[in-house]
Structure 1
Amino acid sequence: MSSFLTRIKVIADREGLSVTAFESAIGASRGVFTRALSNNTDVQAKWLISVVEKYPEYSSEWLLKGEGEMLKPVLAKEDEETYLTPELERITNGEINTLKQLISSQNITIKSQEKTIISLERLLLSLEREIESLRNK
């Protein structure tokens, strides 16, 4: 099996994707990598470029040549290079997407609750005015 194809499989696994789902994620036809893995054949350069563009956190040097670190360093705000902690290295894009969906869902809930609070505050104000009006009679 090609070393490059082995590294494609590593990325797919890290992302929590089957090779078929990985092909779809980069816009490749079904079987582009699956057939290459099965037959130990090469793939077109455009699919390598798609992988690099879709997954920029992976080092293209590692992907293509197997040299260096698998993940690129993350630049800190002060433009100093820092590396991902082992805990962060284990988080896949799938997990990140799940967290983004959870955050989105929670934001929807929060907005709904904000509307409910505003309605209840208005109702409370109306009731307070009505009570005050009844006291003044």
Structure 2
Amino acid sequence: MKEGVLQRIIIICQQRSDSETQFAKMIGANQKTINQQLRGERSLSFDTILKTLSAFEDISSEWLLRGEGDMIKPQHEQIVEPQPALISTAGDTPEASILYHIYNDTINRMKELVEENTKLKMQVTELSEGSEELAKTLKSFHDSNKELADENQQLRIEVMIKDSQLKEKEKSVLDYKELLKKAI
């Protein structure tokens, strides 16, 4: 079956283009890949089949895939309704339509995830920069707090010394008062 599809793709290539290179450009595929597939060096991919059907809308998918009917669709089947999806469905089977919808939904979801990932990376960068700034601020507060604790300790020692000196002076004053009372 694959060889039959390949032979029909080769027929389309020969009838609709001047070369394999031009055919690859017409269907929007990688030239090297198409060359390898058409020469049988590489298996024919589903993607190449779909791109061929999308590029040549007048080609019958029944003919291409099954070898049944005429190569060219009847005129009334060639009218294609525009699809709101990223790519239009190729083929007349519900399976192909479902596959395209799944594909388009996946592409859209991937785009959303890439955008979300980009936003999250920016937020992480901002948070990193913010956390570095916060760490600097906290270190500064810690250093200031340590200095204040040291200064507070020094002041307590000074207060204790002054308090002790004051008590000694008060005692001296009381002793002096006692002496004065006895002297008077």
In terms of Rg, which structure is larger?
2
Q: TM-score, normalised by structure 2?
A: 0.37
Higher helix share: 2
Q: TM-score, normalised by structure 1?
A: 0.49
